[in-house]
Structure 1
Amino acid sequence: MKNRKIYSFLAVFTLCFVSVHAQSNLLNAKNVDSIGIKTEAQKQSDKDEPLQYGYIDDRDILWAKTTWEYIDLNQRVNFPLLFPLRETPSRQPLFNVIQDAIEQDSVNIYRDSYFMNKLSTAEIQDNFRMKRITDIGQQRMNEGVPEDSLQLGMGEIVESELKPEDVKGYRIRGYWYFDKRQGELRYRLIGIAPMALSASLKAELQVASLSGTQMSDEQRKALSEPVEMFWVFYPALRPALHKAKVFNPKNTSQPITFDHLLNSRRFDAVIYKEDNVYGDREITQYKVENSLMQLLESNRIKESIRNFESDMWNY
């Protein structure tokens, strides 16, 4: 009985000194302007860095496999990566966190998951915002009107911006490896890519609608399908993800970070590619037009990874 009281006291004592809150100073505020104001101690505690990865010597890696997965944001378990669609005082969508890291923290982005081709500043902005001249605008320019004088409300130009609700999912590249020194199977996230309807594609759809261009169903479907926007090297993104909080449905006073959520794999994803001798071809390239067989193949790859760890302990 005495030990139980001691444990209860320690639990309450620990909770009282946790400095992570959904909205700081909410209970002590005398007016609305005081909500969100942090004390100096809270500001100091917020300056922490993401937990550093331990050093892994290449000689300690007994076995490894690279996988590419797709996180579908239509699934309820993945909603923390999508919502809220609009920023709140304490939370913002994952896409906004990535965008701010690219534009404000100068995090590099790449064309593919191998991080070989870096995108330029102009190409980055084209992914986020796009302005297109319509047929009416072209006629006005032929009449001598300068491009700067074209008006948005008159249908002479269209502007589109990529928003969080345009993001339909994320592709991630990860590295499964067996650490023979620790004797366990581990996972390391390498890269992440948003799948969305890009700003340029949204602008093309608007231009076609204003000009009355008849598009086939196949063309419209192709322009409406989410595309791989860019790839970000995950370790470079970790500081920004560590500062952003994710909603915790079990305890709103204790949110977790995006970095914690992704590193602990608190999401559901489907493998769409593994490293292989055929140039890392995707499952859809050898399981053609059969969604069931593609899903079964994805599960087979996942099971082969799990089986390797269990096989290490068989004698």
Structure 2
Amino acid sequence: MKKITSLLIVLTLGLTFCNSSIAQGTTEEQAPRDRIYDRFSPSEREIIPYDHIRESDVFMEKRIWRVIDSREKINLPFKYEGIDWKDMKPLITIFNDAIKEGSVVYDDEYFKIPLTPEAFLKKTGSIDTIALYDIDGNYTHDTIVTNEFDPNSVKKFRVKEDWFFDKETSTLQVRILGIAPIYTDPDAGELALYWVYYPDFRKILVKQDVFNPKNDAIRFSWDDIFEGRLFGSYIIKESNVLDRKIQDYKQGVDALMEAEKIKQEMFEWEHDLWSL
């Protein structure tokens, strides 16, 4: 009888130890939730497709080029400089990661010349040859050092878009066609790093979160930012017969006033249409 009792005690202690170990292992595998509720994954999001536009329904159309400067307060999410927002990435990093995974970008704003992987690596990094010496100062050999691209060097983004009046819906609409990160070349000035064809990249941007400074419960995606026009920008060019930018014929404050004039003319055109 004593043997049976001892055996039962041993089995009970063994089961208790096993259950404790299993519970401990489960606890170690599941990290604490950093929120009061479970959020759905951004990967579940899908874009809202555009309505089909027929040529016969376009009553008026104007092409506009504008610049988004990430140093403006409203545009701070475009860089996230010096801040670790975990799953939130600056726009340039999203673009570069997508390119490395096989997405196609272009070397020109007309989307005719695809940027090769070699050209992309050349634009987003550099290779230097450095001579190495021993402790006595004698040359030993050369080594190749790869300089990684600094995403913080991109301060601006150029946007190419079409504004048009749709007769079917009687609305003035805008469709973004391309986005280009801008870097500063010591000799040539500001140049486009590459051009992203925005309609193709929407399916990538919709799955990337953007910080919402007004409400943590409502998350924006990069698709929301662009489709909702939740950014600050200024016009640098409109379609014209000489294909000139504003800076080619206006400077300083006059250039800013010209950009505002173009924006005002578009507003007045729509306003006057309803006044006829």
Name the TM-score class by shorter chain: 0.7 to 0.9
Distance (Å, rounded) in 1 between the aligned partners of 2:29 and 2:252:
56
CA contact (8 A) 2:160 2:178 kept: yes
Q: Which residue of 2 aligns with 1:54?
A: 51
Please name the residue that 2:177 is paired with: 190
TM-score w.r.t. the length of structure 1 is: 0.70
Deviations 1:228-285 (A, max 9, x none): 101010011111111111111111122100111011111111111111111x211111
Q: Is the 8 A contact 2:81 2:152 kept in 1?
A: no
- Alignment correspondent of 1:95: 92
Determine the structure 1 residue equivalent to 2:155.
168
Deviation at 1:65, TM superposition (A): 0.3
Aligned match of 2:271: 310
Q: Which amino acid aligns with 1:176?
A: W
Aligned to 2:78: 81
Q: RMSD of aligned C-alpha atoms?
A: 2.8
Offset, 1:36: 7.0
Task: State percent identity of aligned pairs.
Answer: 29
Give the Cα separation in 2 of the matches to 1:303 and 1:63: 16
Gaps of 5+ in 2: 1-26, 133-137
What is the distance in 2 between the residues matched to 1:188 and 1:90?
28
Separation of aligned partners in 2, 1:195 and 1:41:
34
- In structure 2, C-alpha distance between the alignment counterparts of 1:85 and 1:57, rounded to whole Å: 46
1:62: how far off? 0.2
Encode CA deviations 1:101-146: one digit per residue, 9 max, x unaligned. 1111x22111221112221110011122221225x47xxxxx997x
**Change over 3 Å in CA distance of 1:32–1:196 after alignment to 2:** farther
The one-letter amino acid paired with 1:257 is S
The structure with the largest alpha-carbon Rg is 2
Q: Aligned pair in 2 of structure 1 residues 119, 46: CA closer, same or farther (>3 Å)?
A: closer
User: SS at the partner of 1:181?
Assistant: coil
Deviations along 1:19-55, one digit per CA (max 9) or x if unpaired, are xxxxxxxxxx999824479x99935x84231111111
1:91–1:246: 8 Å Cα contact kept in structure 2?
Answer: yes
CA-to-aligned-CA distance 1:40-95 (integer Å, 9 cap, x gap): 9935x842311111111111100000000011111111111111555533311111
Q: Aligned pair in 2 of structure 1 residues 86, 249: CA closer, same or farther (>3 Å)?
A: closer
CA distance in 2, matches of 1:120, 1:31: 42
Q: Which runs of 4+ in 1 moved over 6 A?
A: 29-32
More helix by share: 1
Query: Are residue 242 (structure 1) and residue 234 (structure 2) matched?
Result: no
What is the SS of the residue equivalent to 1:90?
coil
Q: Show the 5 A alignment for 1:68-147.
A: 68-85=65-82, 87-104=84-101, 106-134=102-130, 136=131
CA contact under 8 A between 1:107 and 1:236: conserved in structure 2?
Answer: no
Q: Verify the 8 A CA contact 1:283 1:297 in the aligned structure 2.
A: yes
> What stretches of structure 1 of length at least 5 have no aligned partner?
1-28, 138-142, 152-156, 202-220
Secondary structure, counterpart of 1:176 in structure 2? strand
Secondary structure (helix, strand or coil) at the match of 1:306 reads helix
CA 1:129–1:164 in structure 2 vs 1: closer, same or farther (change >3 Å)? same
Q: 1:255 aligns with which of 208, 212, 219?
A: 219
Residue-pair matches, total:
244
